[in-house]
């Protein structure tokens, strides 16, 4: 079964594209067929991280019907089993993508066959980005260990959960109205948590409350801390997890710490992902660890198990 892995971040420039390119290489090296899609429309640069020239048709050709399927846009990379689909600088940025274009891309992605389809998304919390992120309940959120990036990640999560609940109920339903009122009130009363929202929905209809709860517990994103420099970065991860659990009832799984690697720029100059350039570096090892973790644990149907901070500690032991 194809696993879709959207990669998002609240803040820009935290390393999504570098991560997507190198994770793709690592998964392909472990025998998986991988398609990387540059969905950072308007800001597409994933090809640079892979060392591919920008001379192939991108998503625009599919949207504007020059190509019938996304499959026709697949570019073979120099790495066996790794394929790539270009974004498009002619398309409006992701934030302004009209609804029909978004739906067309989503349907196109659903028809692709591979072990993994990894989506490099734009930074930010607009609904289009969030809808791409919600193509999976186990997308990957990437951040750097800096307060602003963590706060943006937190906002991204919050907006994603609201969007998830909103989309779980029909248009013009009372449940949607309750959710919208709640968002409005939250601004004035920041202590309200998602538990209160679920209580509000349950008081209207118990089954709907149960559905809202189920959706939030099924949502289980993985978090990657990039450019980590020390063990202290663990504390940041721990705080984010605690606050997300407390305020939103949402569990996060830490799937990786990637150290800051000063040599990354060389991979752009030499047009080769760093994973290939320096396979024994700590950077490449941490990417490989994530690939192995994804292969062994990411089962879309796996029930969510309660976890503590064991995953954080384990990663730190491996990397530092
Ligand atoms: N682990 C790392 N160590 C050192 N530098 C890194 C690391 N990861 C990424 N970088 C550098 O950070 C910069 C931003 O990386 P990248 O373009 O992948 O971010 P992004 O999140 O995709 O940005 P955008 O939001 O603009 O799409 C690049 O210069 C890249 O080389
Ligand atoms: Mg990028």
Q: Domains for the chain: give ranges and CATH numbers.
A: 3-146+223-319 (3.40.50.300)
**Ligand 1 test: best mutation among 10, 13, 133, most atoms within 8 Å of CB?**
13
Q: What atom of ligand 1 comes closest to residue 261's alpha carbon? A: 3
Greater confidence (67 vs 187) lies with: 67
**Tell me: the pLDDT tens digits for 18-62?**
999 999 999 999 999 999 999 998 888 899 999 888 777 888 888
What gap in Å lies between CA 94 and CA 271, rounded to an integer?
26
Q: What atom of ligand 1 comes closest to residue 12's alpha carbon? A: 25
Looking at ligand 1, which residue's alpha carbon is closest to its atom 30?
15
What residues pack around ion ligand 2 (CB closer than 5 A)?
Answer: 16-17
Q: Taking 60 as the threshold, does the pLDDT of residue 151 lie above it?
A: yes
Going along 174-228, which residue ranges are E strands?
Answer: 222-228
Mean pLDDT of the chain: 88
User: For residue 101, what pLDDT is reported?
Assistant: 85
Q: Taking 50 as the threshold, does the pLDDT of residue 317 lie above it?
A: yes
Q: What atom of ligand 1 comes closest to residue 49's alpha carbon? A: 18
Mean pLDDT of 254-282: 93
Say if residues 21 and 7 touch (Cβ distance below 8 Å): no
User: For residue 302, what pLDDT is reported?
Assistant: 42
- The helix-helix angle for 174-188 and 194-204 (nearest 10°) equals 150
| Ligand that lies nearest to the alpha carbon of residue 10, given by its number in the listed order | 1
With cut-offs at 50, 70 and 90, classify the pLDDT of residue 240. Answer: confident
Q: Pick from 130, 126, 123, 81: which is nearest to 106 by CA?
A: 130
DSSP character string of 242-290: HHHHHHH----EEEEEEE--TTHHHHHHTTS-HHHH-TTSHHHHHHHHH
Listed ranges 94-98, 185-189, 255-259; the one with the highest mean pLDDT: 255-259
Looking at ligand 1, which residue's alpha carbon is closest to its atom 10?
15
**Tell me: the pLDDT tens digits for 278-306?**
999 999 999 999 999 999 875 654 444 44
- Give residue 193 CA to ligand 1 midpoint distance, Å: 33
Residue 110 near ligand 1, beta carbon < 6 Å: no
User: For residue 65, what pLDDT is reported?
Assistant: 76
Strands 222-228 and 253-259: parallel
With cut-offs at 50, 70 and 90, classify the pLDDT of residue 315. Answer: low
User: For residue 129, what pLDDT is reported?
Assistant: 93
Task: List residues bridging with 143 in a β-sheet.
Answer: 225
- Cβ neighbour number for residue 315 with a 10 Å cutoff: 24
Residue 40 near ligand 1, beta carbon < 6 Å: yes
Strands 75-76 and 82-85: antiparallel
Q: Pick from 243, 255, 274: which is nearest to 316 by CA?
A: 255
With cut-offs at 50, 70 and 90, classify the pLDDT of residue 320. Answer: low
**Tell me: the pLDDT tens digits for 100-110?**
888 899 999 99
């Amino acid at each position: 079964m194809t696993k879709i892995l959207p990669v998002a971040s609240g803040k820009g420039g935290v390393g999504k594209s570098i991560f997507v390119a190198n994770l793709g290489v690592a998964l392909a090296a472990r025998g998986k067929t991988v398609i990387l899609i540059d969905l950072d429309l308007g800001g597409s640069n994933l090809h640079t991280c892979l060392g591919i020239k920008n001379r192939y048709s991108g998503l625009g050709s599919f949207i504007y019907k020059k190509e019938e399927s996304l499959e026709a846009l697949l570019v073979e990379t120099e790495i066996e089993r790794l394929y790539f689909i270009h974004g498009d600088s002619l398309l409006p940025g992701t934030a302004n993508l009209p609804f029909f274009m978004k739906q067309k891309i989503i349907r196109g992605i659903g028809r692709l066959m591979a072990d993994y389809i990894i989506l490099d998304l734009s930074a930010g919390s607009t609904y289009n980005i969030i809808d791409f992120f919600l193509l999976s309940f186990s997308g990957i959120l990437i951040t750097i260990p800096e307060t602003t990036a963590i706060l943006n990640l937190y906002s991204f999560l919050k907006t994603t959960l609201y969007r998830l609940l909103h989309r779980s109920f029909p248009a013009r339903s009372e449940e949607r109205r309750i959710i919208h009122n709640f968002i409005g009130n939250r601004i004035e009363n920041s202590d309200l948590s998602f538990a209160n929202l679920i209580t509000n929905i349950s008081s209207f209809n118990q089954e709907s409350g149960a559905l809202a709860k189920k959706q939030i517990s099924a949502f289980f994103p993985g978090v990657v801390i990039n450019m980590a420099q020390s063990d202290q970065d663990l504390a940041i991860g721990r705080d984010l997890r605690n606050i997300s659990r407390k305020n939103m009832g949402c569990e996060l799984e830490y799937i990786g710490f990637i150290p800051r690697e000063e040599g990354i720029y060389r991979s752009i100059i030499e047009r080769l992902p760093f994973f290939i350039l320096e396979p024994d570096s700590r950077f490449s090892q941490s990417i490989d660890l994530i690939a192995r973790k994804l292969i062994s644990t990411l089962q879309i149907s796996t029930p969510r198990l309660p976890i503590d901070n064991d995953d954080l500690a384990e990663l730190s032991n491996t990397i530092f």
